[in-house]
Amino acid sequence: MNKNMNNRHFFLFALICLGGSACSPRINTRITKNYPPQAPDAPVAVYTKAPDVPPQSEPIGTVDIGDTGFTTNCDSATVFSLAKTETRKAGGNGLLVTRYLRPSFFGSSCHQISGTMLLVSDFSRTENDSPETITFVQAQPAEVSYQQPSNQFPRMSFMLDAGYNWRTAKISDDLDDFGKHLVKQIKSGFLWNGSLAYFFKNYYGIGFSFQQFRASHETFGEDLNTGQTGVLKISDRISYIGPAFMMQTPLGKSDWLFDLCFSIGYIGYVSNLNFVNLKRSVSGASVGFQSEVGLSYKITPEWAIGFKLLSTDGTLFQYTLDENGHKTTVKMDAKNCESLSQFGLSLGIRYYINSK
């Protein structure tokens, strides 16, 4: 397994695709009464106080314009325009704003609003009022009362998972058939991983990520030089730990959370072989890179279950060889270096603190 092979970050491609569709704000609507849509340029009266809504008004649904966690186009004019557009699609001509969140340092960087969509049959309140006047005055975002964002997301999270990992490096052509057979048996194995994160904003946080891969195999073998026979035991262990950048975003108003993690840290490798009178150990360390993408479902505000797709990269250019207590340092060139790249799938539990 001495040929280096670039690990394919298959889910990073999915992240790029996600980013391409997540630049716009999140839009959720719930229609309670169906009416034909209004014309795209039809006026929509925006109200910020319930007493200002004309008596001849009928609620036809709700609209929520929020942040996906990756939203960039979310200024106040855009989110109000989107809310009006959704109101027209629902057949309404009025919108009562029930919530308006302005950007904050410890919250979202986006303007966010929620409202009740209305079908107003009579705008008349006084002789001087008209739909155009109401629309012009009430559509000013500055007139909407400010609401301090609440912590709707976990402030801290702890995740612990177990699963299966596959090493992606190509098996060296220099090995004989028996050697290739042994390597194939330990190319995949048990994985456990975890992370601890503190979210300084609703969507973004920092923390630590750790992971360990283990694989082992036993078989009956014979030393062709001495004729000795016995049980041959071989095992591999790859460990990773490092600081991480975390992201989280809810999927609509459901109890699902979408998670991302990117980390740079320490990756270590240990391989042991025992056969009759031979004890051989290979160990080394390098800089590692880890990325994770996952989904979590909240069972309670504090507990959730979820799964992850993981990718870990690292390349070993030097290792220590220990044969029956005799240690030597071996350096490898770029063509013969040891690739520690792997990908895996894990399932586990999540514990959240300060989650609402």
CATH topology of domain 10-18+152-353: Porin (2.40.160)
Per-residue pLDDT of 163-194, as tens digits, reads 999 999 888 777 878 878 888 899 999 999 99
Contact 87, 119 (CB under 8 A): no
Torsion of CA 99, 100, 106, 107, to 10 degrees: 70
Q: What is the three-class DSSP state of 189? A: strand
8 A C-beta contact, residue 23 and residue 56: no
Q: Which helix (H) or strand (E) holds 59?
A: strand 57-66
| Number of C-beta neighbours around residue 172 at 10 A | 14
Alpha helices in the chain (DSSP H): 10-21, 76-89, 131-138, 177-185
The 10 Å Cβ neighbour count of residue 240 is: 24
Which pLDDT score is estimated for 200?
A: 83
Beta strand extents in 74-203 (DSSP E only): 94-101, 112-120, 156-167, 188-199
Contacts of 57 (CB under 8 A, 6+ apart): 94, 118, 119, 120, 121
- Biggest CA pair distance of the chain: 110
Rounded to a whole number of angstroms, the distance between the first and last alpha carbons of the chain is 48
Residues whose CB is less than 8 angstroms from the CB of residue 126 and which lie 6 or more positions away in sequence, other chains included: none
**For residue 179, what are the β-bridge partners?**
none
d(CA 62, CA 118): 9
How many angstroms separate the CA atoms of 310 and 346, rounded? 8
Alpha carbon distance 100, 141 (integer Å): 9
Q: Please name every residue paired with 29 in a beta bridge, in sequence order, or none if there are none.
A: 63
For the record, the structure tokens of 307 come out as: 């799964």
Specify the pTM.
0.64
Among candidate residues 132, 146, 279, 263, the one with its CA nearest the CA of residue 195: 263
Residue 41, Cβ density class (10 Å: 0-12 exposed, 13-18 middle, ≥19 buried): exposed
Q: Are the beta carbons of 29 and 197 closer than 8 angstroms?
A: no
- Give the Cα separation of 204 and 17 in Å (integer): 20
Tell me 25's DSSP state: P
Q: Which amino acid appears at position 288 of this protein?
A: G
How far apart are the C-alpha atoms of 281 and 235, rounded to whole Å? 10
pLDDT string in tens for the chain (356-residue length): 444 344 444 444 444 444 444 567 888 899 998 899 999 999 999 998 888 899 889 999 999 888 776 666 788 888 899 999 999 999 999 999 988 888 765 556 788 889 999 999 888 764 444 443 333 333 333 344 434 444 456 788 999 999 999 999 888 777 878 878 888 899 999 999 999 999 887 788 999 999 999 999 998 877 767 777 888 899 999 999 999 999 988 876 678 889 999 999 999 999 999 988 889 999 999 999 999 999 999 898 889 999 999 999 999 999 999 998 899 999 988 777 889 999 999 999 999 987 54
78-117 burial, b if ≥16 CB within 10 A, otherwise e?
bbbebbbebbbbbbbbbbbbeebbbeeeebbebbbbbbbb
Which residues, in sequence order, are bridge partners of residue 235?
216, 272
One-letter amino acid at 242 equals G
Contacts of 97 (CB under 8 A, 6+ apart): 46, 47, 48, 83, 113, 114, 115, 144
The residue ranges of every structural domain in the chain are 10-18+152-353, 32-143
How many Cα atoms within 13 Å fall on the side-chain side of residue 205? 24
The third-level CATH classification (topology) of the domain covering 32-143 is Translation Initiation Factor IF3 (3.30.110)
Of 283, 297, 278, the C-alpha closest to 350 is 297
